[in-house]
Amino acid sequence: MTPSLPDILVGNFLCMAEPPPPESAGEFMAGKVGVVALLSLLAAQEAERGPSARVWENAAIRAVLTDAAEAYGDAFAEAGAGVDTDFTLGALDRANAALRRSLIALHEAVETAGDVVRDHAILRLYGQMADARRLDMPPLPGR
């Protein structure tokens, strides 16, 4: 499971809103605060870069699907049709999930057909997608 940005922020809130029991003082509480701080930093990166990464990724997948339609069937043209019009994270993620399922189906068809050129193009896209969604870990204090 990949938690969404709102899930992470709500989790941080719930973690910090509940008063700690006396036995969780000291190092345990410091660790808890450190984890919440790290998640908050990663969430900030996601809030900054996430929407543009999703818009780019959705367009890139649509282009691959549309390009493959002639060779692999109209279902991929249909899957690749459209553009993002709702730019909320939830809407972008729903569109992305559907597009990824279609991309996986196309990749399976490409591998079965032995289409090495298109296979490598899809593999490059996977790498670009991972890079676009990369979150940078900060240096940890005291390390």
The tens digit of pLDDT for each residue in 5-16 reads 888 899 888 888
Boundaries of every domain in the chain? 5-132
pLDDT score recorded for residue 141: 66
Residue of 44, 48, 66, 60 whose CA lies nearest to 128: 60
Q: What is the pLDDT of residue 24?
A: 73
pLDDT for residue 131 is more than 70? yes
Which amino acid appears at position 84 of this protein?
A: D
pLDDT tens digit sequence for 26-85:
787 888 888 898 889 889 998 999 999 999 999 999 999 999 999 999 999 999 999 999
Question: Given this model, what pLDDT does residue 95 score?
Answer: 97
**Mean pLDDT, rounded, for 17-27:** 78
Helices 27-72 and 89-113 sit at what angle, rounded to 10 degrees? Answer: 50
User: What is the structure's pLDDT at 139?
Assistant: 77
**What are the Cα distances from residue 98, in Å, to 27, 79, 94?**
44, 8, 6
Mean predicted confidence (pLDDT) in 72-100: 95
Say how many C-beta atoms besides its own lie within 10 A of residue 98's C-beta.
Answer: 14
DSSP output for 115-131: -HHHHHHHHHHHHHHHH
> What's the confidence (pLDDT) of residue 3?
74
Q: Is the pLDDT assigned to residue 140 strictly greater than 70?
A: no
pLDDT of amino acid 85? 96
pLDDT value of residue 55: 97
Contact residues for 11 (Cβ-Cβ < 8 A; gap 6+)? 3, 39
